C-alpha cells in the first residue's frame, strides 16, 4: 500500500480465531524421541514445515521408520539399535535444532558416522557449544569446512561415551537436548547446568516417557541406562508463531484475536508477558494440561503500548520473539531496551544487526548494541523494503508491522516463512482485512482519553493541557459534581439534609456548553466557573460525589459530551465505570505531601510552610481513604507517578501516549 499525506487510512480491526501451527521444538523432539523409543507413538498436529521435514528426513536416513508427515500418523520406534550410518550426508537445511539434537544422538550411537550439512545460514552458526561437551564425552567430531570454523559441514562419529557433568555457558535447549540424547543413546548419566533456564520440552517429554530424570534448580540430570516408552504426542500450537498474531492484535485499532491450543509452557510465554506489560490486553482462557505441557487459548485485544525493557532471565523465555517485540516497540510510546540477548547474533541470521538495519530502513530510530538494541517508538508511517537474509522470523515480524494501517513494507523473501509457518501470509490476510463496515470504523475512531487519580493529583489541569495540546475537548467531570453541589449550597436546605433526590431535582438547571476547548456545565444558561471553585462548594463536593445516584447522573453527562466530540475526560472511576473501553486510560499518582504542596500553592498563590503542608497532607490522606473505593485504577490504566515531574513533564508524557493512541485509532475531529 502506498500512503500519501491526506489519504484516509482505514483502521485495522482484527477478528477471528487462529490455531497457529504445531510447536517447532516439540515437533522435532516428538520425532526423535518416538524414533528411539521401542513401540508405536502416535503424533497429532505436528508442524509440517521445512525445519521439521529436515529432522524427519535425517531420521529416515539414519534408519527410522517415519511415514509422510500429516496431522495424524504413527512412528514405530525400534530403539537406538535400529539406527545406522546414513548413506548420504544429513541435510539439515536451515534448522539449528535438527543439527544440534541429532549431533547429540549420533554421538552416542557406537560405530555410526554422519556428515551434517546445511544451507548458508545454518553453515555459519556455531556448533562448538555442542561439539565440545560431546567430544568431552568421547565422541569424534570433525569440522570439514574452512579452518577455525566451528560450523557445518561437520562429521560426527558415535563412540562408547563417558558420563558427563557440563556447565553450559549458554541458556540453550539445543545444547541441553543434545547432551540428554547422547546420554540416552550411550546409556550414561548426564548432568547439564545452564546460566538461565532454557525451554524444557525435552525434560517434560522424557519424564512423560518414563525416563529417570531430575530437574535441578539450574539444569537437569539424566540417570544412566534408561529405556524410553512409546507415547502419543499431541503437538500444541507454537507460542512463537502465535505471538505474531498476539502482536498484531495488540497493535490493531480494535478487535480481538483468539489464539487457540497454544503451548503455555512457562519457559516459552515471555512474549505474551512483554505484550501485556506494554499495555495490550492478553488473557488466557480454557487452560489444560496435555502430555506434560500446559495449553490454553490466548485472547488478545489492542491497547496503547508503552516502551519496556526486556533483559535478564526473561530473554530465553522470548528469545525467538525478540525480532517481533522489537517491531512492536517501534510502535510503542518511548524507548524500548533489549539487553542480555547476544544469542540473537547466532540465530538464523544475526538478528540484532538485521532487525536494527531493517527498522532503520523503514524509518525507525534504533541503536544497535552488542547484546541488544534501543528502539524509539513512534506513530509515523513506516515505509521500505526489508532484507530478511532468509530468516523466517524476520519476514513475519516485519510482516506484522506491514499489516498496520499506513505502513508500506515490502519483504524481500516472503517465502522463507516455510521454515516454521508455511501458511503465515494466508492467516495474516484472513484476520487483518481492513475494516470497511462504517459502523465498526466509527466506533473505533471515537477518541476518549480518561485521566484519573486521587484528590489533588493534578488530573484536571493536566487533562486540560493535554486536550489543548492534542486538539480535542476537555470534559472535567468534577465540574459537574461541583455544579450540582453549587445548587445544593444555593438551596435553603442545610447540607446535612441533602439527599441525591433533593439535588437531582434541581439538575435540570444544569446544561452543557461545548466551547472550542471544552465541554462545561452551565447553570441556568450561565457560566459559573469561578463560583464552582468557591470554598463552600469545595467543602461539600466530596459528600455529593459519594452519592451513587449523583454519580450516575454525572456519568451520563460525561458520556453525552463524549458522544459529540473526541474528549479528554478526568475524574473518579472514569476509566473503570464511565468509559471502560476508553482508548487510553492514565492514572496519576503522587506523594500526599507533594499533592498537598501543589494544592496549597494553587490556593494561596505563594509557597506554603512545612506546617501548612503537613496539615493539608493529613486532610488529603483522610480524603484518599474516603475516596478509595471510587479511585482504584482501571486494570489497563497506565499509572504515572508525578511526584518528581513538573506539570510540563507530566503533560508531555500523556501527550505522547495520546498521540500514539490517536495514531492507533484515528480521531473524529
Ligand atoms: C530451540 C531452542 C532455542 C530456540 C530455537 C529452538 C529448541 O535455541 O531459539 O528456535 O527447540 O531447542 P537455543 O537452544 O540455541 O537457545
Length of the chain in residues, anyone?
669
| Top-confidence range, 185-194, 377-386, 612-621 | 185-194
* Residue 606, domain member (yes or no): yes
Q: Looking at the 3D structure of the chain, how many domains does it have?
A: 3
- Residue whose CA is at the smallest distance from ligand 1 atom 9: 320
* pLDDT, mean over the chain: 91
More confident residue, 324 or 667: 324
Ligand 1 atom at minimum distance from 347 CA:
9
To test ligand 1's pocket by mutation, which of 319, 391, 393 has the most ligand atoms within 8 angstroms of CB?
319
Do 210 and 243 fall within a single domain? no
What pLDDT, on a 0 to 100 scale, did the predictor assign at position 143? 98
For ligand 1, the distance from its centroid to the CA atom of residue 132, given in whole angstroms, is 18
304 pLDDT tier (thresholds 50, 70, 90): confident
Cell 529405556 identifies what position? 227
- Listed residue (15, 25, 20) closest to 297, CA to CA: 20
- Coil vs helix vs strand at 219: strand
Residues in contact with ligand 1 by the CB-under-6-Å rule are 25, 28, 97, 172-174, 177, 198-199, 319-320, 343
Q: To the nearest whole percent, how much of the chain has pLDDT over 70?
A: 96
The set of catalytic residues is 320
SS (H, E, C) 513-533: EECCCEEEEEECCECCHHHHC
For ligand 1, the distance from its centroid to the CA atom of residue 88, given in whole angstroms, is 26
For ligand 1, the distance from its centroid to the CA atom of residue 587, given in whole angstroms, is 40
Cell readout for 608 is 506554603
- Coil vs helix vs strand at 113: strand
Question: φ, ψ for residue 43 (rounded to 5)?
Answer: -120, 125
Do 212 and 87 fall within a single domain? yes
To test ligand 1's pocket by mutation, which of 31, 94, 174 has the most ligand atoms within 8 angstroms of CB?
174
How many angstroms separate the CA atoms of 316 and 65, rounded? 33
* Residue 484, domain member (yes or no): yes
Do 462 and 515 fall within a single domain? yes
What pLDDT, on a 0 to 100 scale, did the predictor assign at position 224? 97
What pLDDT, on a 0 to 100 scale, did the predictor assign at position 667? 53
Q: Apex CA 142: angle with CA 200 and CA 196, to 5°?
A: 25
CATH number at residue 75: 3.65.10.10
How many angstroms separate the CA atoms of 36 and 82, rounded? 8
Asked whether the CA dihedral 343, 345, 347, 351 is positive or negative, the reply is positive
Which segment of 383-392, 467-476, 530-539 scores lowest on mean pLDDT?
A: 530-539
- Residue whose CA is at the smallest distance from ligand 1 atom 13: 172
To test ligand 1's pocket by mutation, which of 22, 23, 25 has the most ligand atoms within 8 angstroms of CB?
25
For ligand 1, the distance from its centroid to the CA atom of residue 271, given in whole angstroms, is 15
Do 401 and 253 fall within a single domain? yes
6 pLDDT tier (thresholds 50, 70, 90): very low
Cell readout for 438 is 462504517
To test ligand 1's pocket by mutation, which of 52, 173, 419 has the most ligand atoms within 8 angstroms of CB?
173
Do 189 and 62 fall within a single domain? yes
**Pick from 431, 462, 494: which residue ends a domain?**
431
- Coil vs helix vs strand at 586: strand
In Å, what is the CA distance from 447 to each residue of 252, 474, 554, 582? 15, 12, 19, 7
By CB atoms closer than 10 A (0-12, 13-18, 19+), residue 666 is buried
pLDDT above 80 for 9: no
Do 83 and 160 fall within a single domain? yes
pLDDT above 50 for 443: no
pLDDT above 80 for 36: yes
pLDDT above 70 for 1: no
Ligand 1 atom at minimum distance from 170 CA:
16
pLDDT above 80 for 435: no
Ligand 1 atom at minimum distance from 24 CA:
11
pTM of the model: 0.74
How many angstroms separate the CA atoms of 563 and 574, rounded? 15
pLDDT above 60 for 195: yes
How many angstroms separate the CA atoms of 3 and 512, rounded? 39
* Residue 438, domain member (yes or no): no
Do 183 and 277 fall within a single domain? no
Ligand 1 atom at minimum distance from 101 CA:
12
pLDDT above 90 for 234: yes
How many angstroms separate the CA atoms of 423 and 27, rounded? 17
- Residue whose CA is at the smallest distance from ligand 1 atom 11: 25
What pLDDT, on a 0 to 100 scale, did the predictor assign at position 530? 85
Residues 588-607: tens digit of each pLDDT: 999 999 999 988 988 888 89
The answer to whether the beta carbons of residues 263 and 293 sit under 8 Å apart is: yes
The answer to whether the beta carbons of residues 334 and 377 sit under 8 Å apart is: yes
pLDDT above 80 for 630: no
* Residue 381, domain member (yes or no): yes
SS (H, E, C) 290-358: ECCEEEEEEEEECCCCECCEECCCHHHHCHHHHHHHHHHHCCCECEEEECCCHHHHHCCCCHHHHHHHH
Ligand 1 atom at minimum distance from 171 CA:
16
For ligand 1, the distance from its centroid to the CA atom of residue 316, given in whole angstroms, is 9
Cis peptide before 153 (omega within 30 of 0): yes
Helix residue spans in 362-451 (DSSP H): 392-402, 424-431, 438-444
Do 43 and 168 fall within a single domain? yes
The answer to whether the beta carbons of residues 659 and 470 sit under 8 Å apart is: yes
Do 392 and 482 fall within a single domain? no
For ligand 1, the distance from its centroid to the CA atom of residue 172, given in whole angstroms, is 6
CATH number at residue 624: 3.40.50.300
- Residue whose CA is at the smallest distance from ligand 1 atom 10: 320
pLDDT above 60 for 459: yes
How many angstroms separate the CA atoms of 514 and 57, rounded? 71
- Coil vs helix vs strand at 600: helix
For ligand 1, the distance from its centroid to the CA atom of residue 153, given in whole angstroms, is 20
Do 499 and 518 fall within a single domain? yes
How many angstroms separate the CA atoms of 316 and 171, rounded? 7
By CB atoms closer than 10 A (0-12, 13-18, 19+), residue 99 is buried
Do 124 and 271 fall within a single domain? no
Cell readout for 67 is 511415514
* Residue 443, domain member (yes or no): no
| Rg of the chain in Å (alpha carbons) | 31
**Pick from 197, 212, 234: which residue ends a domain?**
234
What pLDDT, on a 0 to 100 scale, did the predictor assign at position 573? 79
Average pLDDT over residues 579-591: 89
> DSSP character for 577?
I
Residues 358-411: tens digit of each pLDDT: 999 999 999 999 999 999 998 888 889 999 999 999 999 999 999 998 788 999
How many angstroms separate the CA atoms of 493 and 474, rounded? 32
Ligand 1 atom at minimum distance from 202 CA:
12
Characterize the bridge pairing of strands 335-338 and 372-376: antiparallel
More confident residue, 11 or 437: 11
**Pick from 202, 234, 266: which residue ends a domain?**
234
* Residue 439, domain member (yes or no): no
More confident residue, 14 or 441: 14
Q: Which domain holds residue 530?
A: 448-665
* Residue 272, domain member (yes or no): yes
Do 283 and 389 fall within a single domain? yes
Q: Can you count the helices (H) and strands (E) in the chain? A: 24, 28
* Residue 442, domain member (yes or no): no
Amino acid at each position: 500500500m502506498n500512503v500519501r499525506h491526506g489519504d484516509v487510512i482505514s483502521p485495522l480491526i482484527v477478528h477471528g480465531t487462529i490455531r497457529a501451527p504445531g510447536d517447532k521444538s516439540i515437533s522435532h523432539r516428538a520425532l526423535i524421541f518416538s524414533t528411539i523409543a521401542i513401540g508405536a507413538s502416535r503424533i497429532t498436529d505436528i508442524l509440517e514445515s521445512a525445519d521439521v521435514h529436515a529432522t524427519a528426513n535425517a531420521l529416515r536416513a539414519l534408519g527410522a521408520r517415519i511415514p509422510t508427515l500429516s496431522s495424524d500418523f504413527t512412528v514405530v520406534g525400534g530403539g537406538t539399535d535400529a539406527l545406522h550410518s546414513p548413506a548420504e550426508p544429513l541435510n539439515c537445511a536451515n534448522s539449528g535444532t535438527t543439527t544440534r539434537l541429532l549431533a547429540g544422538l549420533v554421538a552416542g550411537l557406537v560405530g555410526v558416522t554422519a556428515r551434517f550439512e546445511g544451507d548458508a545460514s545454518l553453515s555459519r552458526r556455531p556448533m562448538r557449544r555442542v561439539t565440545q561437551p560431546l567430544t568431552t564425552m568421547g565422541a569424534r567430531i570433525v569440522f570439514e569446512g574452512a579452518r577455525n570454523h566451528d560450523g557445518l559441514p561437520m562429521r560426527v562419529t558415535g563412540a562408547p561415551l563417558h558420563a558427563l557433568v557440563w556447565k553450559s555457558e549458554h541458556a540453550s535447549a539445543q545444547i541441553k537436548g543434545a547432551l540428554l540424547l547422547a546420554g540416552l543413546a550411550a546409556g550414561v548419566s548426564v548432568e547439564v547446568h545452564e546460566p538461565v533456564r532454557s525451554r524444557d520440552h525435552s525434560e517434560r517429554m522424557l519424564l512423560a516417557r518414563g525416563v529417570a530424570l531430575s530437574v535441578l534448580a539450574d539444569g537437569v540430570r539424566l540417570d544412566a541406562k534408561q529405556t524410553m516408552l512409546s507415547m502419543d504426542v499431541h503437538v500444541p500450537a507454537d507460542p512463537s508463531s502465535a505471538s505474531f498474531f498476539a502482536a498484531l492484535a495488540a497493535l490493531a485499532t480494535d478487535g480481538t484475536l483468539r489464539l487457540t491450543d497454544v503451548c503455555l509452557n512457562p519457559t516459552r510465554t515471555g512474549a505474551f508477558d512483554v505484550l501485556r506489560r506494554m499495555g495490550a490486553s492478553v488473557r488466557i482462557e480454557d487452560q489444560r494440561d496435555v502430555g506434560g505441557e500446559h495449553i490454553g487459548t490466548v485472547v488478545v485485544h489492542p491497547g496503547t503500548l508503552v516502551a519496556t525493557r526486556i533483559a535478564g532471565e526473561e530473554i530465553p523465555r522470548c528469545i525467538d520473539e525478540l525480532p517481533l517485540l522489537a517491531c512492536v516497540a517501534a510502535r510503542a510510546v518511548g524507548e524500548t531496551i533489549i539487553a542480555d540477548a547476544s544469542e540473537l547474533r547466532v540465530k538464523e541470521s544475526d538478528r540484532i544487526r538485521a532487525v536494527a538495519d531493517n527498522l532503520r530502513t523503514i524509518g525507525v530510530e534504533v541503536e544497535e548494541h552488542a547484546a541488544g538494541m534501543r528502539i524509539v517508538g513512534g506513530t509515523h508511517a513506516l515505509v521500505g523494503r526489508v532484507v530478511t537474509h532468509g530468516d523466517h522470523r524476520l519476514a513475519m515480524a516485519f510482516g506484522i508491522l506491514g499489516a498496520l494501517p499506513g505502513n508500506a513494507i515490502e519483504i524481500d523473501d516472503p517465502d522463507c516463512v516455510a521454515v516454521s509457518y508455511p501458511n503465515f501470509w494466508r492467516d495474516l490476510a484472513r484476520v487483518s482485512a481492513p475494516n470497511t463496515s462504517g459502523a465498526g470504523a466509527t466506533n473505533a475512531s471515537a477518541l476518549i482519553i480518561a485521566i484519573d487519580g486521587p484528590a489533588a493529583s493534578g488530573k484536571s489541569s493536566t487533562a486540560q493541557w493535554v486536550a489543548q495540546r492534542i486538539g480535542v475537548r476537555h470534559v472535567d467531570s468534577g465540574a459537574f459534581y461541583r455544579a450540582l453541589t453549587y445548587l445544593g449550597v444555593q438551596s435553603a436546605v442545610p447540607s446535612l439534609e441533602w439527599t441525591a433526590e433533593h439535588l437531582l431535582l434541581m439538575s435540570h438547571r444544569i446544561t452543557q456548553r461545548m466551547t472550542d476547548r471544552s465541554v462545561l456545565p452551565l447553570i441556568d444558561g450561565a457560566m459559573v466557573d469561578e463560583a464552582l471553585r468557591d470554598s463552600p462548594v469545595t467543602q461539600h463536593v466530596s459528600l455529593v460525589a459519594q452519592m451513587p445516584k449523583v454519580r450516575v447522573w454525572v456519568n451520563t453527562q460525561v458520556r453525552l459530551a463524549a458522544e459529540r466530540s473526541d474528549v479528554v475526560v478526568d475524574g473518579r472511576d472514569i476509566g473503570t465505570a464511565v468509559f471502560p473501553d476508553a482508548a487510553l486510560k492514565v492514572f496519576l499518582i503522587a506523594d500526599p505531601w507533594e499533592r498537598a504542596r501543589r494544592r496549597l500553592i494553587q490556593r494561596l498563590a505563594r509557597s506554603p510552610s512545612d506546617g501548612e503542608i503537613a496539615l493539608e497532607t493529613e486532610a488529603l490522606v483522610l480524603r484518599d481513604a474516603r475516596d478509595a473505593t471510587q479511585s482504584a485504577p482501571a486494570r489497563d490504566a497506565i499509572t504515572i507517578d508525578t511526584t518528581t515531574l513538573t506539570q510540563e513533564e507530566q503533560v508531555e508524557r500523556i501527550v505522547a501516549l495520546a498521540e500514539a493512541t490517536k495514531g492507533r485509532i484515528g480521531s473524529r475531529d
